[in-house]
Structure 1
Amino acid sequence: MNSDIFEPKILAFCCHYCAYASADLAGSMRIQYPPNVRIICTPCTGRLEVEYFIKAFEQGADGVLVAGCLEGGCHFIKGNLCAKRRVNAARELLSEIGLEAERLRMVNVSAADARPLADYIIDMVQTVRKLGPSPIAADATSIMENFS
């Protein structure tokens, strides 16, 4: 790998029941996705608040991916719909402070969607790579330090 190529630090919040299970399945099936993505398992994406996304950028993430259950398939009824609203609100905030909204994305997958999840992750990394390092992340020195 060329050391001159920017490798973004992506933080992925994954629903325990679907997206995290899908990531686990991807590993079992040896489906590869970029190693510069760190997954945090959450009970439900509906538990995530806007501040978590902003905090991820403040602490060094170049991009944030939220991966929840398929719409209509949330184990907590409407958790993924709450997450979708919060992600959209956070994207607006990012735009207002001059950060590209594309750095934050939500996707919905089932527990069996190992390949689609890997593809979403690959696309997210490519998108953020094109955007370049987050200006916020450039000043951060905390949780994302363990990426190297």
Structure 2
Amino acid sequence: MRLQYPTNVRVIQLPCSGRVDILHLLRSFEDGVDGVYVAGCMEGDCHFLTGNLKARRKVEYVKKVLESLGIEPERIEMYNMSSAQGPRFAEVANEFTQRIKELGPSPVRSAKAA
């Protein structure tokens, strides 16, 4: 089965979602991306025990940082899914891309262009 999701979605694989770094998430926005989502294991099913919980806390922290900067916190999200849920991954990619389209271009990107 070939998954269909938007071509503008860039997948960056890590051994565990807990390895996501707050600075990398923030730098993504600084570099001009319009949105970021982290896909991690199902809660309670992490091979590294608490990696997905750490990732969720990091994403929630970045939401607060974005909000304090006047940027919509909806531009970043955490989703839990198993590696066997390929169709769910494609569904999330499509839904998140639609959400970002509705929000419009990132104000950071707009400010960099000016």
Q: TM-score, normalised by structure 1?
A: 0.73
Gaps of 5+ in 1: 1-28, 141-148
Q: How many residues align?
A: 112
Q: Following TM superposition, by how much is the alpha carbon of 1:31 offset from its aligned partner in structure 2, in angstroms? A: 2.1
RMSD: 1.1
Q: Does 1:67 find its partner at 2:39? A: yes
Aligned residue number for residue 89 of structure 2? 117
Q: Which residue of 2 aligns with 1:86?
A: 58
Q: Which runs of 5+ in 2 are unaligned?
A: none
Alignment deviations for residues 23-63 of structure 1 (CA, whole Å, 9 cap, x no partner): xxxxxx11201101011001111111211111000112100
Question: In the alignment, what sits opposite 1:26?
Answer: none
> Structure 1 residue 137: deviation in Å?
2.2
Runs (4+) of structure 1 exceeding 3 A deviation are none
Q: Which has the higher helix share?
A: 2
User: 1:1-148 counterparts in 2 under 5 A?
Assistant: 29-138=1-110, 139=112
Q: Which amino acid aligns with 2:47?
A: H
**Letter paired with 2:18:** G
